[in-house]
Structure formats: C-alpha cells, structure tokens
Structure 1
Amino acid sequence: MKYYGKALLALAVLALAACQSASKTETAAAGSDVENDTCGAAQYQNYVGKPLSAVNSLRFDTPVRAISWNSAVTMDFNLHRLNFLADKNDTISKVYCG
C-alpha cells in the first residue's frame, strides 16, 4: 500500500510541474504577438473602451473589420487585417490582427 501512495505523490508532482511550464509558454507566445504586429494593432490599443463608431472616422492603409458582439464574420486569417471587436455595449474590447 505504501508504494501506491508514493506513486500517486510522484504523479501529482509531475502533473503540477507540467501545468507550470505550460503557463510560461503562453506568456512567451503573447510576447511574440507584439513583435509580429503585422497590421499595426499596437498603435490602436488606445481605442479599447471607446465606442465602435469611433472607428468610422479613421483612415487605414490595411484592411479593417469592425465586429459587433453578435456579428457573423468569416474565419479566414489575414495577418494584415486590423480587427476591432466590440462587446454587448458596442464598446471596443479588443484590437488585434487576423
């Protein structure tokens, strides 16, 4: 019976170690998104929290999508397209490439 307890303890330690390394990988991936900002989303992060209609007065050199919370959009991925995603209050919640 002692061997089962030790085996379970070793398995739990390995499982916790696996979870820790996965969270570090996600943080590294988020940092690489900033480096690969192909559509210029970083310069429009100040629009987060503003109404989605604020995008209408801007001029862009790249393709742009203003996405309402209940809009249907295509799932094609375009690194050079700038997306403004709004929540239920029609407030911009995220600006990203894709």
Structure 2
Amino acid sequence: MNRYGKIAMGIMLAGLAGCQSSGKSGAKDTQVDPEMDRCGASEYQQFVGKPLSSVDSLRFEHPVRAIPYNSAVTMDFNLNRLNFMGDAQGNITRAYCG
C-alpha cells in the first residue's frame, strides 16, 4: 500500500471508531449509586418537563419539597428528602435528593 493509501485507511478507521455506540440503551439501564439515591429520585425522573403541580397528588415515603422558580429554601442537606426543582414556566427541571 502506498503512503496515501495508508493515510486514507487511518482516516477511515478513525471515522468508524467515532461511530461506535457507548452501549447505553436508555436511562433505565444506568447504574444508580444507592447512597446518593436514598430518597428514590431516580424513580421520579419521568416527571422532568411536567408541571410542578403534577406531584401534588402523589404519596411519598420520604420528605418531599417542590421548589418553585426563584424560591427561598433552606440549605440543609438531607439525602432522604426528594426535591423537585421548578423553572420560570412552572415545569420540573430536576428531581434529586438533598
């Protein structure tokens, strides 16, 4: 193979390596650290993008707070508490423990 052929082969192999998938098929397959997910926030990720009021009718095992946009909240860190963070439109942007 001549010099240009080797360069072209190297470029093609590098391009194909970039097309490989990471093997992650979805959010359900991701590993969750049980220590950081004491409140079960991983089970409520489907609420992200929905109105903050959509969690009002749910029952929870742990303490919960729905935090509207620009609200004052205490800064105490409680891994057993589930938090739903809202945006300016009143939609949930994040569900997390803390």
In the superposition, the TM-score normalised over structure 2's length comes to 0.65
Instruction: Provide Cα deviations, 1:27-79, integer angstroms capped at 9, x if missing partner.
Output: xxxx88x3131100000000000000001010001000100011100000000
Between the aligned partners of 1:62 and 1:94, the Cα distance in structure 2 is: 17
- Note the residue ranges of structure 2 that are not aligned, 5 or more in a row: 1-29
Partner of 2:25: none
Which protein shows a greater Rg?
2
Q: Within the alignment, does 1:68 sit opposite 2:95 as a pair?
A: no
User: Which of structure 1's runs of 4+ aligned residues deviate more than 2 A?
Assistant: none
Corresponding residue for 1:86? 86
Aligned to 2:55: 55
Identity rate, percent: 63
In 1, the alpha carbon distance for the partners of 2:71 and 2:59 equals: 22
Task: Provide the C-alpha distance between the structure 1 equivalents of 2:38 and 2:71, rounded to a whole number of angstroms.
Answer: 24
State the superposition RMSD in angstroms.
Answer: 1.4
Structure with more of its chain in helix, by fraction: 1
> Could you tell me how far apart the structure 1 residues matched to 2:54 and 2:84 are?
10
Aligned length: 67
Matched, 1:77 2:83: no
CA distance in 1 between partners of 2:75 and 2:83 (Å): 12
